[in-house]
Structures are given as C-alpha cells and as structure tokens.
Structure 1
C-alpha cells in the first residue's frame, strides 16, 4: 500500500508574462492548472492508474504570485475512498533571488481512478508507516491555513 510520503510531489514553475493578468501577477486559472496537474500526478502515483479531477474544495487565492516569481506547488495523498483519493495541495510564491517564500493557496482536490473507458477503479488504502506519513496525513486533514 502506498504512503503519503510515496505520493509527495513538489514542483516549481517560474511565472512568465504570458501567464499573468492585468496586474502582472499569475492568473488564477494558471495557478489552478498547476495545482490540478501536480495533484493528478500525486493521485496517479498513489493509485497506479489514470486519475481525473472530481472535486476542488475551497480554493482561495490569498496572495498574488508576481511575474518572475516561482510558484512552488506541493501535493500528497492523505486519504482514500473506494475509487477516489484526496490530495492536499499547497502553493507558495518564492522569490528566485532570495528564496523568500509565502503561502498563496491551499486546497484539497479529489481525484477518481479510471480505466480507459472512464469507469472508476478501486484504489488501495493509505498506509501510514513513518512519522512523516503521520504528519502529512494530519496536515492533509487540517483546515487550510489562513
């Protein structure tokens, strides 16, 4: 059975001019796209199957990500149902010159494992084997940071 640590992914993308809005900050749709992609990778690593987005919970854009800064996206599976997995997603903006960072978004996405016909498939249970696994599970279950 896979663990939260097995599914943990962190990805970075520098925000380019074509990804920004009128305020020269990352367009919300771009941030959500990055979260969806990294979340799906984490879900697929867990399920061993193709996973599709089924639900996005309470996605707030608390701080902007300026053009030229880096969007740091973290994702990990912390719970599983019969055919679905819950993935916690956090986004920070990072200054590429100083490394200074701050949280910009936090959400939970639910993904469903599917076969080539789109029929839901069963997923394994989440295994908790280490302190890091316990911490990731608890962070996943916690309410989003304000």
Structure 2
C-alpha cells in the first residue's frame, strides 16, 4: 500500500519507489526461475503511464519470458488497485534483465526456459515482440 512516506509532493507514489518495488519483485521472479541469486543488470525503458495515489496498492506482476546463459529477462507490470472497489489499472511497465551469480558473485548458468501452456507461450511471444520494439 502506498503510504505518505512513499509519495512525492503530489500525494502519489514517487517513481523511484515504484521502480524499486518492481526491481524487488522482478529479482524474486528471476531467482525463483534460476535457483540462484540474481542481480539487476539492465532496466529497459520504464514507462510511467499513470500515478499510484496514496492509499492505493501497487500490484506488481512479473514473469520470466527469456533466458540466456546466465541472464534472465523479466517483464514487469505495475497496477494501482483500490482495495475498497477492487478497481485496478495499469500504471507502469518495464523489462528487466538479471544475471544469476554463484557464491563468489560470478555469473553462473541458468536453466533453459520452457513454456508449458498456451497462455505462457502467448505471454512470452508478446514480451519478446515488445522488448525487441523497445531495444536500444
């Protein structure tokens, strides 16, 4: 829940807090997939489409859509949710890249990504197409 200490002078979540929350959720998604500690390597374009007011919840969804030798790509979508009305609306979207590291903080291999459902494959295709469209 967005509290006053998370807000800017407009009483909405400060963009830096939203990015931090997205990074934390994305790292958990990457680590769950990799089975290893993961560190943030890159943040692709961060799109703040609308604010998250104080009192609303920042609802963040993350999923792995691609993996390299030691890298894990995660799509992140933040929504604002009013807990009383259950109204939810997309606020922020980005693509993060994490690198799996071993106990010596050296990059280590990650498993091959497999997708078992049609829905999962659709999400993967959409993320790959969108991420390529945003590439530097």
TM-score by length of 1: 0.86
Correspondence for 1:93 among 58, 80, 84? 80
Alpha-carbon deviations, 1:101-125, whole Å to 9, x = none? 1111111000000012210001111
Partner of 1:104: 91
Give secondary structure in 2 for the equivalent of 1:129.
Answer: coil
RMSD: 1.1
Q: Which runs of 5+ in 1 are unaligned?
A: 1-13
Correspondence for 1:57 among 38, 41, 44? 44
Structure 1 runs, 4 residues or longer, greater than 3 Å off: none
Give secondary structure in 1 for the equivalent of 2:130.
Answer: coil
| 1:128-143 map, 5 Å | 128-143=115-130
TM-score by length of 2: 0.92
Partner of 1:35: 22
How far has the Cα of 1:140 moved from its partner? Answer: 2.1
Matched, 1:115 2:93: no
Cα distance in 2 for residues equivalent to 1:142 and 1:97: 36
Partner of 1:68: 55
Q: Which runs of 5+ in 2 are unaligned?
A: 132-136
Cα distance in 1 for residues equivalent to 2:28 and 2:127: 17
Cα distance in 2 for residues equivalent to 1:16 and 1:135: 35
Cα distance in 2 for residues equivalent to 1:107 and 1:37: 13
Aligned pair count reads 131
Deviates more, 1:94-103 or 1:129-138: 129-138
